[in-house]
Structure 1
Amino acid sequence: MTRPLRTAGGVLLIVVLLCAAAALGYVETHAARSPASAPARPSTPTGAGASALDSAGAAPASTPAPPGTAVRPSALARRLRPALAAGALGPGVHAEVIDVLTGRVLFGNGSDAPGAPASTAKLLTAAAVLATRGPQYRITTRLAYVASGTARGTLVLVGGGDPTLTAATGSTHPAYPGAARLASLVRAFRATHRHVSRIVVDDAAFAGPTVSPAWDADDVPSSYGAGITAVMTDGGRASPGAVVRSAAPDLAAGAELAARIGSPHLPVTRGALPSGARTVASVRSAPVSTLIEQMLQESDNVIAECLARQVAMVEHDPVTFTGAARAIRAVVQRRLGVRVGAGMVDGSGLAASDRLTVAGLAGVLRAAAGASDSGSGSPLGALMSGLPVAAWSGTLDDRYVSGSARAGAGVVRAKTGTLTGVSTLAGLVHDRGGRLLAFAILADRTGATPQAEAALDVAATRIATCGCG
């Protein structure tokens, strides 16, 4: 069974935001792409008023609506329904469009029918961890040492659930910019001049299986999936530049630690922090806001699952796949007022059995966008800035570059989702009347993925270019 290349848009299009997104230089964490083969894209994101010319040179799709006029649902439906009827999307298409300001549902098609969300489920994880931990929270990794007793000489790497801790050294680029470095822990330990007889990795911050029973057998190890452990380096990779991630990233991190202290042959085992161990050094991850953006930009499943467990910790739920999913659902309903049902079984959307509604997805986006626009210092701003921009960044960087979807370039900000037979898109646009709209489109009985994605892009562009006042 084919798995996703990238498992599975706009708030104010401020040039500063877009330049910042480009400058972050997010690393492709799923499948390498050749720059030479990528289609040309605009040198700068286009605005909402850009001419909607398709590849045949057709006239603009609509004329701008007078400012402040309300969207007529019937007019939006006339523009959107033909796009949703595209054969590539198959018969299982659900869609909803909401006016962010008023909360009015402008279009609905199967809005309350659960479907497989793929990686659009990460929107819920992002909202929940921002609402609980907050955007400035940093995850701590500790290095402890036992100086006496039967465990004397034991060096313990104690994980707090930071998926981005890097083993990169010198000029080697980490998998995630801004990551805490294992080398910093090693420097502090070497200053103690202690002898090491063995290395223990302490994963006690997480519980339950490291691989979800709802995932396919091919998902771990793969380029997009790893075992979910509280100790890991570089998103579960055995080395910073590795393509395939590890089924046992905690032990791989312990082996990296052994190599960095100059004793690569030391035994590395899992275990609890021994009695008498004392912390000798600690490092902290980049802020949660940065981790959220890295997760959303490249649809990183490992970051998503580790952040989901942060929600479970705060909510005092079991720090497992199911406990984290339950905690996320509770936070989204209690803090954002959005009912999302009980269909989530993980925090990434990688499980084919995950179920969400487009009403829930659009509702989370509306709540986050509304909170961010309220001027109240909402913690949910990182969700907005983390969304990929059409034809510009993240998982949308090579989409919206040609054909009738090109008018959405630089206008659509959205989270993608892809599994076998599933293509989803959920995000934000300003329409031609200046209204901020949240949308979610879920197709879970599709044909070929490239054609399904192209059809979704056309549909999102129809929303963005609608002069439906």
Structure 2
Amino acid sequence: MTSAAPVARVGGLTALAGALLAGSLSVGPTTGSAAELAGSGSDRAGAAVLGGLDSAAPIPQPAAVAARLAGPLGDPVLARPAAFVIDAQSGRVLLDVRSRIPVAPASTLKTAVATAALTTFPDDRLRTTVVYSPPAGGNARTSGGTLWLVGGGDPTLTASTAPGGYPALARLSDLAAQVRAAGITSAARVIGDGGLFVGPDRAPGWRDNYVTDGDVAPVSALEVDAGRSAPEAVGPRSPTPAAAATTAFAAALMTAGVSVGSVATGPADPAAQRVAAVYSPPVRVLVERMLTQSDNDLAESLGRLVAHRRGLPASFTGATRAVRDVLAEAGLPVAGMALADVSGLSIANLIMPMTLVAILRAAVLPGRPALRTILTGLPVAGFSGTLGDRYTTGDTAIGAGDVRAKTGTLHNVSSLAGQLVDADGRLLLFAFLSPAEEAGSTKAALDRAAAALTGCGCTPARSTTVAIPPAASRPPAASRPPT
């Protein structure tokens, strides 16, 4: 590798980030097998070159890519992973290892629900409301009566009263202040309604410890701080998030000067009058947060809301069908897709590695600007989200700041799907999915594969030598929760 390669790569990344923020991201026309990856429609023809990258940079040669990744992907800890790598601009397939065989994706599946949400309602805000029924013979300014807290599927609704912060989340304290401003000084009953979502609150294939370990709350349309005991708390989630949210709202009401009698959960009276409402950040901001932090509660809520918008039940069954249908309508490959949830927590989920890369390419192509949030939401190696503490060792550091990828980790799955700029300045898209037992060493091995790809000047005229230490010399990494 020449000494100028790192400078070219960083420059390309900087320009790519600028293009994403400016909304000018586009690529040239597809070739070869790229049409299957890009989806249907005419949005590919005659498009400009990807802003900030050199369209004349040499495309990696498949044989060279295969040779470069043979060692990292051949690491026994990965247990024969599936792998798929393409050149983003041309769509040329650079590596294909069982890409058409559906496998368990873990949280890389979140790119699918992100696509569905951004296609369906990218600028919508999720509304949480309070409705009121006065006591018999009274009115809205009479003490007593019943207040219902009606969930709109926003798990980021928070009990925090701290000022500022990004994004600006919906707050229980604001709801309580609006109730008091409406002239209500007491409520005989406060009832929480999470009935927008239906069906089981846990999916087939979810492990019993997911809730107690704090990986996800039972799915509900009414949650506060995603079922956590306090904002940003860690540890177990509430097994009854709607009840916990209602109790937290009652506390906010009392702080606002509204006395409260009993607290319960149940359906709101359709004739009750709305007296307060708060709104989440736009869905595109929630999607970005979901991808960066691998937020399971947001993923499941967004999937149900897509289903609801499409006239399907707001359940696991409706969400999985809705997500698959949106992908199919976009012309993305969905053969063999079988989903039990949309967060990727279920070991019963199956998807082709090719589909994950096709989703990423749809976000790069012109004509679907809303999908660019998928790219900006991907964790950055060594800097943010679920990749923030990775790519710090000598054999992976070359990928820090370059690799942007969605992680996936379950008991029997470790995966990584994302994008990077190689040593020649080509934007590459990849998916690596390992069926190995969850371990820090498995994630480290995937990171070595992506790091090797970032250093790839994989053309006949380029040296592609980057030292990758043998497995015995690599330090182990600590095991992490599902991501």
TM over 0.5: yes
* Counterpart pick for 2:193 among 189, 193, 202: 202
**Cα distance in structure 2, aligned partners of 1:425 and 1:124:** 14
Per-residue deviation, 1:145:
0.4
* Counterpart pick for 2:102 among 114, 121, 124: 114
| Aligned equivalent of 2:183 | 193
| Aligned equivalent of 2:341 | 346
**Cα distance in structure 2, aligned partners of 1:15 and 1:182:** 41
* Counterpart pick for 1:250 among 233, 242, 249: 242
**Cα distance in structure 2, aligned partners of 1:66 and 1:321:** 43
Q: Residue 346 of structure 2 aligns to which amino acid in structure 1?
A: A
| Aligned equivalent of 1:415 | 406
Contact 1:11 1:430 in 2 (8 A): no
Counting matched residue pairs gives 407
| Aligned equivalent of 1:13 | 13
| Aligned equivalent of 1:381 | 372
Highest relative contact order (Cα 8 Å, sep 6+), 1 or 2? 1
Please, which runs of 5 or more residues in structure 1 have no aligned partner? 1-9, 22-64
Q: Residue 410 of structure 1 aligns to which amino acid in structure 2?
A: G
Q: Residue 366 of structure 1 aligns to which amino acid in structure 2?
A: R
* Counterpart pick for 1:86 among 75, 85, 108: 75
Flag as ranges the 4+ runs of structure 1 deviating above 3 A. 15-18, 148-152, 263-266
Q: Residue 119 of structure 1 aligns to which amino acid in structure 2?
A: S
Per-residue deviation, 1:204:
2.2
Per-residue deviation, 1:160:
1.0
Per-residue deviation, 1:232:
0.8
Contact 1:329 1:340 in 2 (8 A): no
Per-residue deviation, 1:16:
10
Per-residue deviation, 1:224:
1.3
Contact 2:404 2:419 in 1 (8 A): yes
**Cα distance in structure 2, aligned partners of 1:393 and 1:460:** 16
Instruction: Give the aligned CA root-mean-square deviation in angstroms.
Output: 2.5
State how 1:13-92 maps to structure 2 within 5 Å.
13-14=13-14, 67-91=56-80
* Counterpart pick for 1:287 among 282, 294, 310: 282
Q: Residue 390 of structure 1 aligns to which amino acid in structure 2?
A: A
**Cα distance in structure 1, aligned partners of 2:358 and 2:119:** 15
For residues 60-105 of structure 1, what are the alpha-carbon distances to aligned partners after superposition, in whole Å with 9 as ceiling and x for unaligned? xxxxx994322210111000122111011123x1000012222221
* Counterpart pick for 2:357 among 346, 357, 362: 362
| Aligned equivalent of 1:142 | 129
**Cα distance in structure 1, aligned partners of 2:117 and 2:55:** 39
**Cα distance in structure 2, aligned partners of 1:467 and 1:298:** 31
Deviates more, 1:302-311 or 1:65-74: 65-74
- Structure 1 counterpart SS, 2:212: coil
Per-residue deviation, 1:238:
3.3
State how 1:178-327 maps to structure 2 within 5 Å.
178-194=168-184, 195-243=186-234, 244-262=236-254, 266-327=261-322
Please, which runs of 5 or more residues in structure 2 have no aligned partner? 1-9, 22-53, 139-143, 460-483
1:402 partnered with 2:390? no
**Cα distance in structure 2, aligned partners of 1:11 and 1:212:** 44
Change (3 A) 1:421 1:139: same
Contact 1:405 1:458 in 2 (8 A): yes
* Counterpart pick for 1:433 among 424, 438, 446: 424
- Structure 2 counterpart SS, 1:316: coil
* Counterpart pick for 1:463 among 434, 441, 453: 453
- Structure 2 counterpart SS, 1:139: strand
| Aligned equivalent of 1:46 | none
Per-residue deviation, 1:347:
1.0
Per-residue deviation, 1:314:
2.0
Contact 1:131 1:335 in 2 (8 A): no
For residues 357-416 of structure 1, what are the alpha-carbon distances to aligned partners after superposition, in whole Å with 9 as ceiling and x for unaligned? 11111111111122xxx3x56111111100000111111111111121111111100000
| Aligned equivalent of 2:28 | none
Change (3 A) 1:150 1:394: farther
**Cα distance in structure 1, aligned partners of 2:93 and 2:310:** 31
Q: Residue 243 of structure 2 aligns to which amino acid in structure 1?
A: L
Change (3 A) 1:205 1:66: closer
**Cα distance in structure 2, aligned partners of 1:360 and 1:208:** 28
For residues 238-279 of structure 1, what are the alpha-carbon distances to aligned partners after superposition, in whole Å with 9 as ceiling and x for unaligned? 322432221111111100111111178743222222143000
| Aligned equivalent of 2:48 | none
Change (3 A) 1:201 1:434: same
1:163 partnered with 2:155? yes
Q: Residue 107 of structure 1 aligns to which amino acid in structure 2?
A: L
| Aligned equivalent of 1:39 | none
| Aligned equivalent of 2:113 | 125
Contact 1:336 1:367 in 2 (8 A): no
Contact 1:139 1:160 in 2 (8 A): yes
For residues 143-195 of structure 1, what are the alpha-carbon distances to aligned partners after superposition, in whole Å with 9 as ceiling and x for unaligned? 11001449971100111101101111146x88x74211111110010123323
- Structure 2 counterpart SS, 1:404: coil
Per-residue deviation, 1:340:
5.1
- Structure 2 counterpart SS, 1:220: helix
Change (3 A) 1:170 1:103: closer
Deviates more, 1:334-343 or 1:358-367: 334-343
| Aligned equivalent of 1:105 | 93
Contact 2:246 2:265 in 1 (8 A): no
Contact 1:428 1:439 in 2 (8 A): yes
**Cα distance in structure 1, aligned partners of 2:273 and 2:108:** 42
**Cα distance in structure 1, aligned partners of 2:183 and 2:261:** 17
* Counterpart pick for 2:381 among 378, 390, 414: 390
| Aligned equivalent of 2:440 | 450
- Structure 2 counterpart SS, 1:96: strand
Contact 2:148 2:192 in 1 (8 A): yes
Q: Residue 450 of structure 1 aligns to which amino acid in structure 2?
A: G
For residues 323-349 of structure 1, what are the alpha-carbon distances to aligned partners after superposition, in whole Å with 9 as ceiling and x for unaligned? 101110110121253325331110100
| Aligned equivalent of 1:60 | none
